[in-house]
Amino acid sequence: MRLDATNFANLGSKDFRILTAIEVGMKNHEYVPVPLIISIANLPSCGIRRIITNLHKLKLVAHWNKQYDGYKLTYLGLDYLALRTFSLGGIIESVGRRIGVGKEADVHIAKESKGELVVIKFHRLGRKSFRTIKLNRDYLGKRSYASWMYLAQIAAKKEYSYLLSMYEKDFPVPKPIEINRHAIVMQYIDGVPLSQVRVLKTPRNTLETLFKLIIDMAEIGIIHGDFNEFNLIVDEGNDKLYLIDFPQVIPIYHQNAATYFNRDVNCIVELFNRKFKVIACDYPKFEDVVSDELIHSIRSAQPHLKINNGDEIALQNFFQHNSSYVTSENDSDSSLYSPNDEKESDIHESGSDEYKNGEGYQTILKNDTDSDNIIDDDDATEVTSDSESADNYHIKKSNPIQIWRPYISRNREKNIQENVRNKLRNKSKSEQRKNCRQNKIKYNFEH
């Protein structure tokens, strides 16, 4: 399911309380019963079902009513919760359409509060197009009911951890800005994937730079695991290369570390031989780069962000099983450059960051205020999103992203006029029925 932020600004605090309550209930339920949702949300039961039904119509939750009446979050509902956190925290002001899609994530262009362009990467593990769901569910164990969203959040945490660590060590990676749930806000790179570059000024120097990057990563204890042309962004301004996509990173002491290291190297060697006609006679090998002393020092070092060993194994198994499968759409989530004639959606809201980093759910639900204190319908704008494919756009740097307020205003005015017409029509029908009843009573009385 792709992000459709059309209804974001129309949701109130009660809607988000319900979504958060369902998220909390999914920790130990596949489908959360309605009474438990009401209990966690700490809201009056009157009107709750109407709110849940509306969320279901918007495809933010999924319904199940076989043994009992229950609901669970969809990826779109999780997207809305993450966007709300970014919006309330002042991280994101507006969000545009999808500019990249891959096997495990979608990438959207966005604008932060200062007006700078950023990208939001939404991890989406467990797509149906993998065609290996049954195989994957074998290793998820008792958490299979919440496996995909749970693993998506773990993958986001892992990627953010490595991004932050590598950025602090001056590696050529996008600057990580914020993480919430399964979404990461990171620096916008004005470039194109290496897969779309036909000519390089100095291809041999670029190849040597990539070899050095692989070696430098191994020296700090990590192997990328998916080092290919789709995960390398070329900055057109200075021919600088940026590396992206880190959920499948493994440490150098992993049992398959040598295999992944050599595969990354061979992938680059074959690419430059095939596309740029550069033959690499000498290239790095795992046994020459990684020594026992290095492995021992990396093992003893504390990771920047701890991840449960079981979660780490589950992620590694997931990426191993799905490494040979691709989606029917673009095979990369690395197209991080501005599309032509971009439409952007304003998701700005006032208030404090109630959902910072997804913590303190119970406190949030107890202390949350009424929707009027969170969203002012006169000030909030509708959210628009473009449903066009990310494959059909071209670079046009002279057209920056804009917020389409006139388009939003026209839609709002049209909706208001339609509501007025409906009210007048209903009033007219009501008067007609009333006159009909009076005439019928008068006729019966006279006869």
Write out the catalytic residue numbers.
Answer: 226
Burial 232-251 (b: 16+ CB within 10 A, else e): bbbeeeeeeebbbbbbbbbe
Rounded to whole angstroms, the Cα distance separating 77 from 32 reads 14
- Other CB atoms within 10 A of residue 133 CB: 12
Contacts of 111 (CB under 8 A, 6+ apart): 92, 93, 94, 95, 96, 117, 118, 344, 401
Work out the angle between the directed axes of helices 309-321 and 147-168 (0-180°, nearest 10): 100
Rounded to whole angstroms, the Cα distance separating 107 from 120 reads 6
Burial 210-219 (b: 16+ CB within 10 A, else e): bbebbebbbe
Give the β-pairing of 343-346 and 402-403: parallel
Residue 305's alpha-carbon distances to 82, 86, 231, 254, in angstroms, are 20, 21, 23, 18
Give the β-pairing of 343-346 and 250-251: unpaired
One-letter amino acid for residue 160 of the chain: Y
Q: What is the dihedral of CA 218, 224, 230, 231, to 10 degrees?
A: -80
Of the candidates 253, 384, 355, the residue with the CA atom closest to the CA atom of residue 312: 253
Cβ-in-10-Å burial (0-12, 13-18, 19+) of 361 comes to middle
H-assigned helices in 175-285 = 203-219, 257-275
Q: Which residues pair with 120 in a beta bridge?
A: 108, 185
